[in-house]
Homo-oligomer: A and B are copies of this chain.
Amino acid sequence: MKNEDEPKDKRLKPGDAQKLTMAEVAKYVGVSAMTVSRAFRQDASVSEETRKRIMEAVDALGYVLDLSAGSLSSRRSGFIAALVPSINNSNFSDTARGITDALQNTGLQLLLGYTDYSAEKEEELIEAMLRRRPEGIILTGGSHTARARRMLAKAGIPVVETWELPEDPINQVVGFSNSEAMALLVRTLAGQGYRKFGYIGGTTARDTRGSQRRSGFQKTVEELGLGPGRMISFGVPPITMEQGGQAIVSLLERWPDTEVVLCVSDLSAFGAIMECTRRGMKVPRDIAIAGFGDYEISSICHPRITTINVDCYGIGRQAAARLLHALQSGEATGDEITLTGYKVVLRESTDRNGAPTA
C-alpha cells in the first residue's frame, strides 16, 4: 500500500537538517557540544566571541534546539499546564492571556487544555499533562475527581486553583467568591428598589462557579426577605445565548410579574434581552436583566448590560505569578489564597429610570 521508497517529498532536500544535532553544530564550529549547549543560554559562561561563532553556525545550518532532549536531562520540561472549561469563552481566554503574558521571558511555555466543564475530562487532561511533566499546573475551579487530586498530590509540582475559593484547596488559590459576588449584585439591585428577583442558570452542578452564583443569589434573596427566588435552570453548562432567550420565556410564563432577572453569565443575559426585545418587551422598562462576567458584548449592546466585572486577565497573571514564585523559591511555598477583585457595573439594562438612552 505505502510507497516508502518513492522519491522524498520535494520540500525535504536530502542533506537537509532533518536530524541535525548539537554535536554536528559543535563539530562544524570546532568546539564541544557542551559549549554549544551553553551558547543557547544567557547565564552560561561562554566567551562572547565563541557564542557569536556558534550562533552563526546555528543560523547557517538551520539548527533548531531540541528541548525534548534537554528537558529529559535537565529535568525541566519548560512548560506549565493550564486547564480551562472552554477556550471559546472570552472570560477564560482572558485568563489564558494573562498566564501567557506573565510567562513572557521566563522560558516557560503554556500548554492549554479545555475540560468542557467536565471533571472526568479534567482528570484525563491532568493525566495527559502530567505525562509531559509540567513544572506547574493551573486549574479552573476547585472540584476535581479523587484520582485527579491524587495525581496532583503525587506530582509534586505547584498547583493553582483559580476562579473560585475552593473549600479544600490543593495548594494555591487565585480567585474570588462567586457566591458573594452574586450576592453583592442582588443587594445592589435590591437597594435600587427591585423586589421580585428571577434567576437563569444551567441545570447541573457541573459548573461549580455557576452553582455558587446561584446559591449566592438564593441565599441573599431570602436574607433580604424577598421570598424564594424564581429560578429557571436551562440546559447543561455553559448555557448559550440562545438558551438564555429560551429561559427567560419560561421564567416569564411562570412568573410574569418578575421585575429583574439575574443570569449566570452575560451571554445568557444577552440572549434573554434579545428575546425580550424581539417579543416587544422593553428592557429595562418592562423587565430588568443583569449578567455576570462583563464580557465585551455587555458594554456594546443595546441596552448595555449590568454585570459583575471580574478580573479575568488578572487571575491568569497572578496565578502564573504564584506559580513562578513557588518555582523560584524551591517549591517551599505554603498554600496561599490570593483574592482577586470584582465589582458591580451598573448599566442600562437595570436602569430604574427605564429609558436606556436618549
A-to-B contact residues, CB < 8 Å: 2-4, 6, 8-12, 16-18, 62, 64-69, 71-72, 77, 87-88, 90, 93-94, 96-97, 100, 109, 111-112, 114, 127-128, 130-133, 150-151, 153-156, 170-171, 240-242, 245, 270-271, 274, 277-278, 296-297, 299-302, 329-334, 357
Contact = CB atoms under 8 A, between A and B. Distances in A.
Contacts of A100: 114
A277 to B, nearest CB: 5
Nearest to A73: B72
A131 B68 CA distance: 8
Contacts of A69: 72
Contacts of A3: 330, 332
Contacts of A8: 331-332
A301 B274 CA distance: 6
Contacts of A114: 100
A92 B247 CA distance: 28
A274 B245 contact: no
Given A2-B329, A62-B154, A87-B112, 16 more contacts: A4-B332, A9-B332, A11-B153, A12-B331, A64-B127, A66-B131, A67-B131, A67-B133, A87-B97, A88-B93, A93-B93, A109-B128, A245-B300, A271-B300, A274-B300, A297-B297
A90 B150 CA distance: 34
A77 B68 contact: yes
A296 B240 contact: yes
B17 A132 contact: no
Contact of A18 (B9, B156, B171, B240): B156
Nearest to A3: B332
A270 B156 contact: no
Contacts of A357: 278
Chain A to chain B: the 8 pairs with minimum beta-carbon distance, closest first: A17-B154, A88-B93, A241-B300, A67-B131, A62-B154, A87-B93, A277-B302, A64-B130
